[in-house]
Amino acid sequence: MPHTVEWKVRLHLFEDDDGATKAHVVLDTGTTALSGHGTAHCHPADTNVPEIGDELAAGRAMQNLAQQLLHTAERDIEGMAAPRPGTRQAAGWPL
């Protein structure tokens, strides 16, 4: 049976008072919300290119979110693999 869902992702970028670019990403599955954070700092000797800071901060926030999502899936898999009395143990999902 086909399975189709739509998850919404919101990404917010902003610069703090110290000049660091910060990113906050929120994944909304409709039943759960996870959020990730990332930061980028421009080295004082480098040319300030805001787009690069945005890319780094956003990438780091999404990487943080991805790790959380993988950990959530691992916990869910472990919960599914627990043997029930009188039944065979379920096969594991490869990650």
- Higher pLDDT: 90 or 50? It is 50
pTM of the full structure: 0.79
User: Strands 33-40, 21-28: parallel, antiparallel or unpaired by DSSP?
Assistant: antiparallel
Report the SS3 class of residue 64.
helix
State yes or no: pLDDT of 2 exceeds 90.
yes
CATH topology of domain 8-74: Double Stranded RNA Binding Domain (3.30.160)
Q: Please give the structure tokens belonging to residue 84.
A: 């029930």
Spatial separation of the C-alpha atoms in residues 53 and 18, rounded to whole Å? 13
Q: Please give the structure tokens belonging to residue 41.
A: 């700092």
Residues 49-83 have pLDDT tens digits of: 999 999 999 999 999 999 999 999 999 999 887 66
Spans of all domains in the chain: 8-74
Question: In this structure, what DSSP letter does residue 86 have?
Answer: T
- Higher pLDDT: 15 or 90? It is 15
Spatial separation of the C-alpha atoms in residues 85 and 90, rounded to whole Å? 12
